[in-house]
C-alpha cells in the first residue's frame, strides 16, 4: 500500500496541479488515534468526489481486504441498508466485547474445524465462535471487528453511492447507511466531511479512447472540514466538547432501542435490529434526519471551497428520480447534464 500511496502522490502532485486545505487539523486527529487502546470513539470520513473510479485505480484497499463486501440492491436482492456487512460496519465503530456473535442469515453453514474451511476460529478459547461472517449464507469473510486492534475504527464512505459528475458540482441525495454508522455505535464517532474536485477531469465518464488512461495537467483540490461530532479531544480525537445535533439524534435513537427491547423482552446485539427499528416510522425519520445533517456538513465544506449554495431540492430522492434520472435511466448522461455511473 505504501507503493500505491507514493505513486498516487506522484501522479496527483506531479502530473496534475493539486491543492490541499485543512489537512493539518485532520492529521492531528489521526495522530490522537494512533494507539487503538486509547481510542474513545470511531472515525467516519465522508468524501464527495465526482470520480470515484480514479480512487479505485490508485487504491489497493479494494484488493487487500480494506473494504467490506457489499451487495448492491441494483444487482442483488441481498443488498440494502440491513445486509450483514452493515452489522460489521457498526461494530467497527464500537468497542468489544459484543454480547453475541454476528446475526447471520438462517442458511449460514455451521462453523467447520476443517483446515480447508474459510472460517477463522480460536481452537483454544472459543472453538465454536468464528471470526468470519457471511453475506449470503454461503460465502465467508474475515470479521475485522472481532479483533481488539480494530476497536473504534476509521471507516471511509462515499454517501452518494455512485459516480456523479455534475457540471455545477451539485451533490445527489445521500444514502441512509451513513446514519446507521452514527446512530448505532456505543459512542458517537468523530465525523469529518471532505470535498474533492478535479478528479472528474482526470477520469471523466465522457472521455474518449483510451478510456483507461488518466488525463494529466488538471487542477484538483481537496478540502477537509472540521470534526462535526464527538465530544472531547482525548485519545480518540473529537471536538472541543459541546452537545451536537448528532448527540440529540443518538439520544432519541437510544430511547427507541430501549422501548423496543422492553417490548421484545430481550437485548439486541450490537448492529442487530428488530423490524420496528428497521422499518418503524420513528426509526426511518431519525435516519432521514441524521443523513440530512451529514449532507449539510458536507455542504458547509463545499461552501468553504467557494461554490454557491445549491437548491434545497438537490438533497431529495424525488429530485434525482424525476430530473436527474432521465426517465428511469440509471447510467450515462442525464437530462440535467450530469454523468452517472454505478460505483
Q: Where are the alpha helices (H) located in 173-226, listed in sequence order? A: 177-183, 199-202
Angle between helices 245-264 and 281-304 (to 10 degrees): 160
Tens of pLDDT, residue by residue over 6-20, are: 777 776 777 777 888
Decide the pairing of beta strands 17-21 and 219-224. parallel
Cell numbers 452514527: residue: 182
Predicted local distance difference test score (pLDDT) of residue 305? 86
Predicted local distance difference test score (pLDDT) of residue 2? 64
Predicted local distance difference test score (pLDDT) of residue 10? 77
Peptide bond between residue 210 and the one before it cis (omega within 30 degrees of 0): yes
Predicted local distance difference test score (pLDDT) of residue 148? 83
Positive or negative, the CA dihedral 150, 154, 155, 156 is negative
Predicted local distance difference test score (pLDDT) of residue 96? 79
pLDDT in tens, the chain (343 residues): 566 667 777 767 777 778 888 889 999 999 999 998 899 999 998 776 554 444 444 444 444 457 788 888 777 888 888 999 999 999 999 987 776 544 444 444 554 544 444 445 554 444 445 678 888 888 888 888 888 888 899 988 887 777 776 777 778 778 889 999 999 999 999 999 998 887 777 777 767 788 777 777 778 888 899 999 865 443 444 444 578 899 999 999 999 999 999 998 888 889 999 999 999 999 999 999 999 999 999 999 988 888 888 777 777 777 666 655 555 667 777 777 677 777 6
Predicted local distance difference test score (pLDDT) of residue 98? 73
Of 327, 47, 264, nearest to 272 (Cα)?
264
Question: Residue 39: exposed, middle, or buried by beta-carbon count in 10 A (0-12, 13-18, 19+)?
Answer: buried
Predicted local distance difference test score (pLDDT) of residue 256? 95
Positive or negative, the CA dihedral 132, 192, 336, 340 is negative
Predicted local distance difference test score (pLDDT) of residue 125? 47
Q: Is 160 left (phi over 0), alpha (psi -120 to 50) or beta?
A: alpha
Predicted local distance difference test score (pLDDT) of residue 188? 94
Tens of pLDDT, residue by residue over 195-238, are: 888 777 777 776 778 877 777 777 888 889 999 986 544 344 44
Predicted local distance difference test score (pLDDT) of residue 204? 72
Predicted local distance difference test score (pLDDT) of residue 325? 53
Amino acid at each position: 500500500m505504501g507503493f500505491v500511496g507514493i505513486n498516487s502522490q506522484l501522479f496527483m502532485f506531479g502530473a496534475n496541479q493539486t491543492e490541499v486545505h485543512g489537512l493539518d487539523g485532520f492529521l492531528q486527529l489521526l495522530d490522537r488515534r494512533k494507539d487503538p487502546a486509547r481510542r474513545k470513539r470511531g472515525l467516519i470520513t465522508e468524501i464527495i468526489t465526482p470520480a470515484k473510479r480514479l480512487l479505485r485505480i490508485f487504491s489497493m484497499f479494494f484488493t487487500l481486504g480494506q473494504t467490506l463486501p457489499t451487495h448492491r440492491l441494483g444487482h442483488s436482492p441481498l443488498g440494502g441498508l440491513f445486509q450483514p456487512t452493515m452489522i460489521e460496519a457498526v461494530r467497527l465503530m464500537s468497542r468489544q466485547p459484543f454480547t453475541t456473535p454476528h446475526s447471520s442469515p438462517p442458511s449460514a453453514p455451521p462453523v467447520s474445524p476443517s483446515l480447508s474451511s474459510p472460517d477463522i476460529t480460536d481452537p483454544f478459547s472459543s472453538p465454536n465462535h468464528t471470526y468470519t461472517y457471511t453475506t449470503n449464507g454461503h460465502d465467508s469473510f474475515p470479521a475485522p471487528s472481532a479483533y481488539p486492534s480494530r476497536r473504534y475504527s476509521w471507516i471511509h464512505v462515499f454517501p452518494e453511492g455512485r459516480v456523479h459528475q455534475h457540471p455545477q458540482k451539485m451533490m445527489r441525495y445521500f444514502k441512509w447507511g451513513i446514519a446507521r454508522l452514527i446512530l448505532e455505535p456505543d459512542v458517537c464517532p468523530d465525523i469529518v466531511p471532505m470535498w474533492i474536485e478535479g478528479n472528474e477531469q482526470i477520469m471523466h465518464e465522457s472521455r474518449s479512447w483510451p478510456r483507461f488512461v488518466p488525463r494529466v495537467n488538471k487542477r484538483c483540490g481537496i478540502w477537509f472540514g472540521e470534526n462535526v461530532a464527538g465530544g472531547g479531544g482525548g485519545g480518540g480525537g473529537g471536538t472541543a466538547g459541546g452537545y451536537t445535533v448528532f448527540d440529540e439524534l443518538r439520544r432519541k435513537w437510544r430511547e427507541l432501542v430501549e422501548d423496543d427491547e422492553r417490548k421484545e423482552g430481550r437485548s439486541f446485539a450490537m448492529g442487530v435490529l428488530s423490524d420496528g427499528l428497521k422499518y418503524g416510522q420513528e426509526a426511518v425519520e431519525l435516519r432521514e434526519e441524521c443523513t440530512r445533517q451529514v449532507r449539510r456538513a458536507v455542504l458547509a465544506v463545499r461552501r468553504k471551497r467557494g461554490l454557491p449554495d445549491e437548491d434545497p431540492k438537490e438533497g431529495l430522492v424525488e429530485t434525482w428520480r424525476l430530473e436527474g434520472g432521465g426517465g428511469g435511466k440509471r447510467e450515462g448522461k442525464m437530462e440535467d447534464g450530469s454523468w452517472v455511473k454505478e460505483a
